[in-house]
C-alpha cells in the first residue's frame, strides 16, 4: 500500500511551513504522495519555488478563497 501524507499548513506561517515540508519530502519513497494545504502568502510562493529548485513535479490548485492544495508524487 502506498503511503499518502497530508500536511494541513493553513494555520502555519513561513518558515515553519518550509521546514516541515522539507522534512516530509525526506520521508517520501518512490510512488508515495504528499498533499500540502497552504494559505500563508509567503508559503504559497516559497513551496512551489522549492519544489521547482529540487526538480520535484507537483500539481497545484485553489481550494478556497485564500488557500491552495499542492500534490506531490515522488518519482
The reported pLDDT for the residue numbered 72 is 97
Closest CA to 43 of 22, 28, 73: 22
The reported pLDDT for the residue numbered 61 is 97
Stated pTM of the model: 0.93
pLDDT, average across residues 36-56: 96
- The answer to whether residue 59 scores a pLDDT higher than 80 is yes
pLDDT, average across residues 44-63: 96
Question: Which residues are within 8 A (CB) of 20 and not within 5 positions of it... i.e. 6 or more apart?
Answer: 7, 9, 12
| Average pLDDT score over the chain | 94
Residues 22, 4: Cα–Cα separation, whole Å: 16
* Structural domain count of the chain: 1
Domain range for 26 is 4-73
The reported pLDDT for the residue numbered 15 is 94
The CATH number that applies at residue 53 is: 3.30.110.40
Helix (H, G, I), strand (E, B) or coil at 48: helix
Amino acid at each position: 500500500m502506498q503511503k499518502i501524507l497530508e500536511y494541513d499548513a493553513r494555520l502555519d506561517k513561513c518558515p515553519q511551513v518550509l521546514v516541515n515540508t522539507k522534512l516530509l519530502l525526506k520521508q517520501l519513497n518512490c510512488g508515495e504522495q504528499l498533499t500540502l494545504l497552504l494559505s500563508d502568502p509567503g508559503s504559497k510562493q516559497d513551496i512551489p519555488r522549492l519544489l521547482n529548485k529540487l526538480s520535484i513535479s507537483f500539481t497545484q490548485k485553489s481550494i478556497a478563497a485564500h488557500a491552495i492544495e499542492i500534490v506531490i508524487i515522488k518519482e
